[in-house]
Amino acid sequence: MTFKIHHANSFDWLSSAAPNSFHGVLTDPPFGIVEFTPEEITKLRSGNKGGVWRIPPKIGGSERAPLPRFTTLSASEREHVRTYFRCFGEILYPTLVPGAHVFVAGTPMLQYLVQDGMAQAGFTVRGAVMRLYRGFRGGDRPKLAEKEFPEVCVTPRGNYEPWMLFRKPISEKTVAENLRRWGTGALRRMSVDTPLPDIIQSGKTPAEEMRIGDHPTMKPQHFLRILSRTLLPTGFGVILDPFAGSGSTIAACEAIGYESIGVESDDCHFNKMHKNITKLSSLYPDFKGHSKELTLC
């Protein structure tokens, strides 16, 4: 076993972590801020539909899992997202070795706020990897005027999720020197001939993984193993997920053979996490994130 998990608020936990502890971060944070507050989680778990969690329309008669709807955020809540990521970035920064990369999952509408907050904290914005999947956000006709405007959609139907990429500046003169000193500063290729692409066809999280993880925003092993693997260009180091949820990132690292640390504040998710990691990491034993293709069998 090469992972550790901590039941804590990651802001508190990070503030006492030693400098230069982590070589990469892969995380899917509560970027809407309100969706993981105790009030919103109580509404979600009690089936109350009044909050930020919404059930997308049925497709082909089948029920969809609830998704957080970020168009409910007010201007000041949106500003709070920017501040949240500046504070998160500032507290994370000293714990990373120079040249460490950070992947942060987001949504297209809030991406600019996350990037701005992280840039203010000192990180360099390095683009994003798009996870392509069949989304259910957006694409709606104008509310209460659907029949009047049948050919109109208010926003495009979302079919990608940006995983924003940041890098703590390198401390050495060149990337090569940084790689030699810290093992970071660049990304691991899929193979010698294939760099990491910035678009990955992903699909939704398989039902078997959802059954194990039982988390409303759980991400697929296929995608997480690709991103985890690329974070350690020399194969050496420790990956952190400060908002670990079901433990899916830690399971991806475990499957690859990377050392990792997860932090989760919610009692319910934390209590199941160790078991989840064992089960999720044993799925697809031949898939270590080194190709885009995963055969589900």
Ligand X SMILES: C[S@@+](CC[C@H](N)C(=O)[O-])C[C@H]1O[C@@H](n2cnc3c(N)ncnc32)[C@H](O)[C@@H]1O
Identify the bridge partners of residue 168 per DSSP, sorted by sequence position: none
**Site track 201-240 with ligand X (rule: CB under 6 A), x = hit:** ------------x-x-xxx---------------------
Answer yes or no whether residue 36 interacts with ligand X by CB under 6 A: yes
Contact 118, 105 (CB under 8 A): no
Residue number, nearest CB to ligand X: 245
Provide the terminal-to-terminal Cα distance of the chain, rounded to the nearest Å: 25
**Binder of ligand X out of 106, 245, 262, 289 (CB under 6 A):** 245
44 binds ligand X (CB under 6 A): no
Q: CB 220 → ligand X: shortest distance, Å?
A: 8
Instruction: Candidates 93-101, 137-145, 225-233, 243-251: pick the segment binding ligand X (CB under 6 A).
Output: 243-251
Cβ atoms of 251 and 221 closer than 8 Å? yes
At closest approach, how far in Å is the CB of 18 from ligand X? 19
Confirm or reject binding of residue 95 to ligand X (CB under 6 A).
Answer: no
Min dist CB 242 to ligand X, Å, is 6
Residue 31: other Cβ atoms inside 10 A: 25
Cα 244 from Cα 239, distance rounded (Å):
12
Q: What are phi and psi of 267, to 5 degrees?
A: -60, -45
Which C-beta is closer to ligand X: that of 168 or that of 215?
215
List binders of ligand X among 46-65 (CB under 6 A): none
Q: Give 102's Cβ-side CA count (13 Å radius).
A: 32
Residues 179, 161: Cα–Cα separation, whole Å: 29
Question: 50-56 long-range CB contacts below 8 Å, 24 or more apart?
Answer: 53/216, 56/136, 56/137
* Residues in 96-155 at the binding interface with ligand X, rule: CB under 6 A: none
Q: For the window 6-25, what string marks contact with ligand X as x by the rule CB under 6 A?
A: ---xxx--------------
| Sign of torsion over alpha carbons 244, 245, 249, 254 | positive
Whether 85 and 113 have beta carbons less than 8 Å apart is answered as: yes
Q: In terms of CB distance, is 29 or 185 closer to ligand X?
A: 29
Does 86 participate in binding ligand X (rule CB under 6 A)?
Answer: no
Q: How far is the CB of 297 from ligand X (least distance, A)?
A: 22
The amino acid that residue 158 corresponds to is: G
Closest approach of Cβ 263 to ligand X, in Å?
5
Contact, 209 vs 280, CB < 8 A?
Answer: yes
Query: With binding defined as CB under 6 A, does residue 248 bind ligand X?
Result: yes
**Six token digits for residue 159:** 């079919």
* CB closer to ligand X out of 105 and 170: 105
How many positions of this chain bind ligand X (CB under 6 A)? 21
Q: Which is nearer to ligand X, 17 or 218 (CB)?
A: 218
| 14, two tokens | 């990070």
Site string for ligand X, 261-290 (x = CB under 6 A): --xxxx--x---------------------
Alpha-carbon span 239 to 245, nearest angstrom: 15
Q: State the residues that interact with ligand X by CB under 6 A.
A: 9-11, 28-30, 36, 213, 215, 217-219, 243, 245-246, 248, 263-266, 269
